[in-house]
């Protein structure tokens, strides 16, 4: 994602890249001149990013997927001190899909089961993906459940697929299918930079 962010920043008229954090570097040195930190690192690095951002009072846009409960709690604590936007998927269409499946699940009720199938590249470590969980949580909440309720997840890892998600709401007599496909990882960088501008 770092390369995708760099490309999007280079192509913009109103943004400049302050620095890119690599292993072995001091994060505080990299972000010293930054107006906002955009974090697409790994879950293991999130605590360090949040600590640095709160110490330096720099806003954060976090798109890290695969965070555990403690790491998500740390985001909440940081958000009480600095401006922070967290989303497991920065795609605008996924935001629309999330609202759409929640609306459909609320309208159809518990008589319809929910299934989410996702495909990602072979390097993807978390399964189900953060996006699949986000969609499942939206469906469950719309049906009055907590977490992901009774949502069934399945996944596949192959090639270099940036991300495909299919949500199926099914009864004994009919089904409703929603799908979203990413053609380039630039969509996540674009969404993150929209958030950074905001």
Residues with Cβ within 8 Å of 121's Cβ and at least 6 positions away in sequence, in order, are 157, 158, 159, 160, 161, 162
Lookup result for tokens 């269409």: 93
Question: Which of the following is catalytic: 22, 120, 165, 175?
Answer: 120
124 has catalytic annotation: yes
Q: How far apart are CA 109 and CA 139, in angstroms?
A: 10
Question: Which of the following is catalytic: 22, 121, 123, 124?
Answer: 124
Residues with Cβ within 8 Å of 81's Cβ and at least 6 positions away in sequence, in order, are 54, 57
165 has catalytic annotation: no
Q: How far apart are CA 174 and CA 191, in angstroms?
A: 34
Helix (H) / strand (E) containing 52? helix 43-56
Q: How far apart are CA 86 and CA 77, in angstroms?
A: 12
Query: Which residues are the active-site residues?
Result: 120, 124
């Amino acid at each position: 994602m770092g390369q995708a962010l760099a490309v999007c920043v280079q192509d913009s008229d109103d943004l400049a890249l302050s620095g890119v954090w690599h292993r072995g570097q001091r994060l505080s040195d990299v972000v010293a001149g930054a107006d906002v930190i955009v974090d697409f690192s790994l879950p293991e690095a999130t605590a360090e990013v949040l600590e640095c951002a709160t110490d330096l009072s720099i806003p954060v846009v976090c798109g890290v997927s695969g965070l555990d409960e403690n790491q998500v709690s740390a985001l909440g604590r940081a958000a009480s001190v600095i401006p922070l936007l967290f989303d497991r998927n920065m795609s605008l269409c996924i935001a629309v899909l999330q609202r759409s499946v929640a609306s459909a699940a609320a309208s159809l009720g518990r008589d319809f089961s929910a299934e989410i199938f996702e495909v990602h590249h072979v390097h993807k470590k978390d399964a189900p993906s953060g996006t699949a969980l986000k969609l499942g949580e939206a469906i469950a909440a719309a049906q009055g459940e907590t977490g992901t309720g009774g949502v069934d997840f399945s996944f596949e890892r192959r090639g270099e697929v940036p991300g495909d998600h299919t949500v199926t709401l099914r009864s004994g007599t009919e089904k409703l299918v929603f799908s979203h496909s990413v053609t380039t990882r630039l969509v996540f960088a674009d969404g993150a930079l929209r958030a950074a501008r905001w």
